[in-house]
């Protein structure tokens, strides 16, 4: 089966392949982006420069890197840069949203969703958290629901939430929406403006270093109180270093965490690469590889978890093969006994076939 980008026949495809091969050269069969994405060469070089400059007492302007990364993420998700906060953790941003809810508010979540998306709501004992199967989220929104919180793609098995249906149901009942796009943004086009809040870590499908995360809020800032605001949340940060901040940023920057600067020094270059490649082309590439793997599994009489539009493929019962696969140079994950393979822009048809060969052997 030929894949869209396995044998390029056009200038656009050649550019995609050439750019990817310039930036990535894994030494193994790496199929674990759902855990951690590989870093592009440009990102590694930028971080090396930043570290060496700091060691020499001549640090680069890494705050400019934060702003460049913020702007790039805004373009990737289709929102004004003024609506993007920069931080390090989805859990922190979930906690921020949880803190904004009134006592007794109902939060609707999906069963077995990633803990960073749901746990902060449970930490507030005065909230009513209701959990239903992912496929029933939209139909379960009701007039008493204040917030629907869900991952765009499930970490454990790659299932995709029906975000248009969830958005419509929330709108009908006056509920806000909170989407964790950590397992989606980078391969799945995300229109963040359609939801009240969108958060994502960047060290997976956005191939950034750890320590980078973003939060998209509405133009009116979504009624959030910046409970962890420090000096970087000031309208004039360098004038906000001492005492209470006299004026918070008039943009989403009021929700910034103090940034992991060396991570952002690299992140701006990773995000620029995604912009160059184009998320829709990455999506086509990733899904074609996942489809190849699913077809190969069925030829082995193995049935994966149904998630046909996802680059994450989860195979029940095969998690025990993880040590064997790792010894063979194939990196995947074991999630709750399921083998989880994740296919991204740097993977090829040969990677898929290598995984199938080991599984069949």
Check residue 278 and give left, alpha or beta (phi > 0: left; psi -120 to 50: alpha). Answer: left
Per-domain residue ranges of the chain: 11-41+277-360, 62-276
**pLDDT tens, 30-48?**
999 999 999 999 999 999 9
pLDDT at 313: 98
pLDDT at 3: 33
pLDDT at 193: 98
pLDDT at 361: 86
pLDDT at 11: 63
Tokens read off for 252: 């989403």
CATH architecture of 62-276: 3-Layer(aba) Sandwich (3.40)
Residue range 333-346: average pLDDT?
A: 96
Q: Which helix (H) or strand (E) holds 69?
A: helix 62-77
Which residue would you say has higher pLDDT here, 14 or 170? 170
**pLDDT tens, 193-235?**
999 999 999 999 999 999 999 999 999 999 999 999 999 999 9
Contact 312, 342 (CB under 8 A): yes
Is the pLDDT at 12 greater than 80, yes or no? no
Tokens read off for 120: 């902060």
**pLDDT tens, 129-171?**
999 999 999 999 999 999 999 999 999 999 999 999 999 999 9
DSSP state of 102: P
Contact 127, 107 (CB under 8 A): yes
What is the chain's mean pLDDT, rounded?
A: 95
Residue range 270-287: average pLDDT?
A: 98
How far is residue 166 from each of residues 129, 149, 171, 197, 360, measured CA to CA in Å?
17, 10, 8, 13, 39
Contact 204, 197 (CB under 8 A): no
* φ/ψ (deg, to 5) at 313: -120, 125
pLDDT at 9: 45
Q: Quick one: how many helices (H) and strands (E) in the chain?
A: 11, 12
Q: How far apart are CA 104 and CA 152, in angstroms?
A: 26
Q: How far apart are CA 189 and CA 181, in angstroms?
A: 10
Strand arrangement of the beta sheet that strand 333-335 belongs to: 312-315, 338-342, 333-335
CATH number of 11-41+277-360: 3.90.1150.10
**pLDDT tens, 236-245?**
999 999 999 9
Is the pLDDT at 307 greater than 50, yes or no? yes
Residue range 267-273: average pLDDT?
A: 98
pLDDT at 142: 98
């Amino acid at each position: 089966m030929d894949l869209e980008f396995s044998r390029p026949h056009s200038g656009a495809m050649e550019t995609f392949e050439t750019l990817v091969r310039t930036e990535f050269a894994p030494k193994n069969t790496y199929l674990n982006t759902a855990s951690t994405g590989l870093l592009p060469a440009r990102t590694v070089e930028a971080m090396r420069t930043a570290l060496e400059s700091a060691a020499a007492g001549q640090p680069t302007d890494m705050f400019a890197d934060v702003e460049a990364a913020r702007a790039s993420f805004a373009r990737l998700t289709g929102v004004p840069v003024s609506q993007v906060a920069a931080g390090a953790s989805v859990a922190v941003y979930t906690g921020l949203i949880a803190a904004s809810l009134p006592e007794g508010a109902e939060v609707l979540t999906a069963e077995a969703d990633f803990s960073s998306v749901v746990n902060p709501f449970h930490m507030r004992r005065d909230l009513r958290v209701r959990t239903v199967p992912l496929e029933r989220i939209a139909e379960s929104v009701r007039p008493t629901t204040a917030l629907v919180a869900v991952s765009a793609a499930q970490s454990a098995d790659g299932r995709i939430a029906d975000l248009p249906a969830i958005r419509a149901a929330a709108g009908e009942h006056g509920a806000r929406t909170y989407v964790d796009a950590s397992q989606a943004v980078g391969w799945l086009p995300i229109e963040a403006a359609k939801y009240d809040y969108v958060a994502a870590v960047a060290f997976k499908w956005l191939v950034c270093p750890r320590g980078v995360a973003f939060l998209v809020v509405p133009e009116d800032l979504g009624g959030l109180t910046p409970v962890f605001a420090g000096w970087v949340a000031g309208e004039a940060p360098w004038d906000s270093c001492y005492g209470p901040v006299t004026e918070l940023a008039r943009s989403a920057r009021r929700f910034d965490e103090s940034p992991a600067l060396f991570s952002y020094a690299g992140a701006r270059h990773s995000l620029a690469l995604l912009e160059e490649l184009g998320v829709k082309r990455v999506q086509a590439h990733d899904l074609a590889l996942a489809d190849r793997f699913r077809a190969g599994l069925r030829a082995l009489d193995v049935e994966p978890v149904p998630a046909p539009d996802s680059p994450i493929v989860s195979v029940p019962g095969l998690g025990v093969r993880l040590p064997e696969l790792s010894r063979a140079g194939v990196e995947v994950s074991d999630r709750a006994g399921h083998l989880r393979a994740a296919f991204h822009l740097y993977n090829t048809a040969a990677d898929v076939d290598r995984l199938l060969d080991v599984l069949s052997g």
